[in-house]
Amino acid sequence: MIERYVDSLTGINNENYLRLTYQDYLSENPNSNFIMLDFQKFKDINDTFGHNVGDEYLKTFATILKTNFFDSIVVRLHGDEFAVLTKCAIEEINKRFDLCDKKIQLAVQEGRIPRLFAYNAGSCKAEHGINITKEKADYMMYHAKKNKERFQPFAKEVWAYKTAQDDFLNKVDDCLKENSFTYTSRRLYDINGKEKNIIQVYTKDCDGSSIFGNEGYELLRKNAKLLQIDIHNIQNIIENYDYIKDNIVINIDFTSLLSNDSLIEYLKLIKEVRNIDLEKIVFSIDIAGLEYNSYNSLIKSVNALKDLNLKVRLEKYDSKIGDVVWEECHVDYIKVANNYWKKAMHNPKLAFSLKYKMDMINNYSDKTTAIFEAIENKEEIEFLKSIAPEDTLFSGNYYSGEKVLKLKK
């Protein structure tokens, strides 16, 4: 029976023991704090030294925590994640973490582990509900890790931010379930300000607010929502947009292309069964965050799209990885990242580099057209005219505002 409450690797207690004793400890120590901890870059330790050495790190940290929080409940939850239920106040917790750091240094000097390691911790007041307590402390730990801090005690503003993120994700889920996304569009213009027959589509929630603004995009990507949204948008727009002459640009994240083979099959079938002209569809692929070990897979997906006669645009084009994708497959358009070209306006070296890229793209025989968006004033358009090829396309408030995109009912 005792084995049920002991972590077999480290010898300290486990989560079963925490749940068994949580309420009793809290009854005796009503002002307790609950701490969540995990290693920084534990995978690097395993990859560098092997899993056996990684286990020694876990054992060492477990012993250090147990020794320093001698009047507390210390458990290993799973992997490199630990928890402490303690009557210590925040100031005392920080002192004990200082002691933990010293003992980690001694462990290296004694040869028990080959190099120093760091950890992140977050805490909150222990509530009678252990699950919500864990959730709060865990988010504080995540906040500490994100901000490269050792320890983040509970902060109302940090938790409010997390709550707002949850509300945002729930709203997106509701939009998916109720098919209540709305879409707006911007027309693109040539270098002389003449309208072109190509429009960019933007996804909004049911209230008309952008779901990809501010930090929304990364939050959706982190929570695996982008694939759902991309598939939903592609189906909804391609099958219901009553286009006549315009090319229509639909955003899609590179992770959606890499994680769903059925998307290509769907496009093949929709072209055959519904006889939809895919030549007027432009997939704008966001490549921000694409790693070198994934670009071959993306190139394969881009070529599959081209085989269906879709046009392809690379979005967030501001990195060497964008050059690699462009060099390996035909891309119809490249959207230069807004922060990249706006920064180049005030940085001569960056402007020179940007003009070189534009010349490179323009002079190659397999034609690719550059696109610049979010143009707000005459100064910006004059700068872009000085470095962009003649056939470059532009959009932004300088030209016209967004319009509601009407879909078939």
Residue 238 pLDDT level (bands cut at 50, 70, 90): confident
More confident residue, 259 or 34: 34
What average pLDDT score do residues 71-88 get? 97
Q: What is the pLDDT of residues 80-124, one digit of tens each?
A: 999 999 999 999 999 999 999 999 999 999 999 999 999 999 999
Residue 187 has pLDDT above 60, yes or no: yes
Model confidence at 278, pLDDT cuts 50, 70, 90, reads: confident
Average pLDDT over residues 253-265: 84
Domains, in order of start, for the chain: 2-154 (3.30.70.270), 167-404 (3.20.20.450)
The pLDDT of residue 240 is 81
Mean pLDDT for the stretch of residues 237-250: 79
End-to-end CA distance of the chain: 63
Indicate the pTM of the whole model.
0.78
DSSP assignment of 203-252, as one string? EE-TTS-BSSSTTHHHHHHHTT-HHHHHHHHHHHHHHHB--SS-EEEEEE
Q: pLDDT value at position 404? A: 87
Listed residue (345, 353, 399, 351) closest to 373, CA to CA:
399
- The residue with greater pLDDT, 237 or 24, is 24
Q: How confident is the model at residue 208 (pLDDT cuts 50, 70, 90)?
A: confident
Which whole number is the average pLDDT over 361-367? 75
Residue 396 has pLDDT above 60, yes or no: yes
Question: Residue 41: pLDDT band by 50, 70, 90 thresholds?
Answer: very high
Relative to beta strand 151-152, strand 119-125 is: parallel
Among 237-251, 301-315, 330-344, which stretch is predicted with the lowest mean pLDDT?
A: 237-251
Confidence of residue 323 (pLDDT cuts 50, 70, 90): confident
Structure confidence at residue 319 (pLDDT): 60
pLDDT at 153: 98
pLDDT band at 28 (very low <50, low <70, confident <90, very high): very high
Residues 127 and 23: their CA atoms lie apart, in Å, by 9
Q: At what angle do helices 130-146 and 156-178 cross, to 10 degrees?
A: 100
The whole-angstrom separation of Cα 361 and Cα 348 is 20
Edge-to-edge strand ranges of the sheet holding 151-152: 13-14, 73-78, 81-86, 33-39, 119-125, 151-152
